[in-house]
Amino acid sequence: MCVAPECGPRDKITPSGDCVTCDEYEAVSDDLKSCVDPQCRENDFITPEGDCVPCDRFTVVTSDKKSCIKPDCVAREFITKDGTCEACLPYTKPTEDKMSCHTAQCDDERDSIGPDGECHEYDDTLEKRFEALSEQASACASNVEQLNRKV
């Protein structure tokens, strides 16, 4: 009568009936005869014990599948719940932790928010030019009025 050896959950059984522990990041095959690379889902990482574990929200699995990291998004991108980078909508920018986008809060209420999501200092050049033109127009109107009186 054959008796199955008392192997651990990470042990394969050799043809001679011995128990051999699988290396780190390997799992025992279904038939218990070999060690294999675990077949994990797309965003799972492999533990040293050979188990597949899903990455947390806002993270992605590393290329070696041994851990999860926050993706390295570019300037105007934020990290989505599935760990990918996505561009913020115009007139918004990523929060400091890059987990979402928000509208900037400008220090001066006259400042404007540009398509890049940043505050742009109020430019009063046009306002000053308009005031100067208004003064010139008033002076012209006054001159025309005086000329009309003389005629």
**Per-residue pLDDT tens for 109-138?**
888 888 888 888 887 777 788 888 888 888
* Whether residue 5 has pLDDT greater than 80: no
* Residue 129 CB neighbours (<10 A): 10
**What does R_g of the chain's alpha carbons equal in angstroms?**
35
Give the whole-number percent of the chain exceeding pLDDT 90: 42
CA angle, corner 12, sides to 11 and 16, nearest 5? 120
What is the pLDDT confidence band of residue 151, given thresholds at 50, 70 and 90?
A: low
Q: How many residues does the chain have?
A: 151
Which residues, in sequence order, are CB contacts of 80 under 8 Å at separation 6+? 58, 86
What is the pLDDT confidence band of residue 4, given thresholds at 50, 70 and 90?
A: low
Average pLDDT value for the chain: 87
Tell me the per-residue pLDDT of 55-79, one tens digit each, with 9 for 90 and over: 988 888 999 999 999 888 888 999 9
Tell me the per-residue pLDDT of 85-98, one tens digit each, with 9 for 90 and over: 999 998 899 998 88
pLDDT for 39 equals 92
Tell me the per-residue pLDDT of 22-47, one tens digit each, with 9 for 90 and over: 999 999 999 999 999 999 998 899 99
Phi-psi region of 65 (alpha: psi -120 to 50; beta: other; left: phi over 0): left
Structure tokens at 147: 């000329």
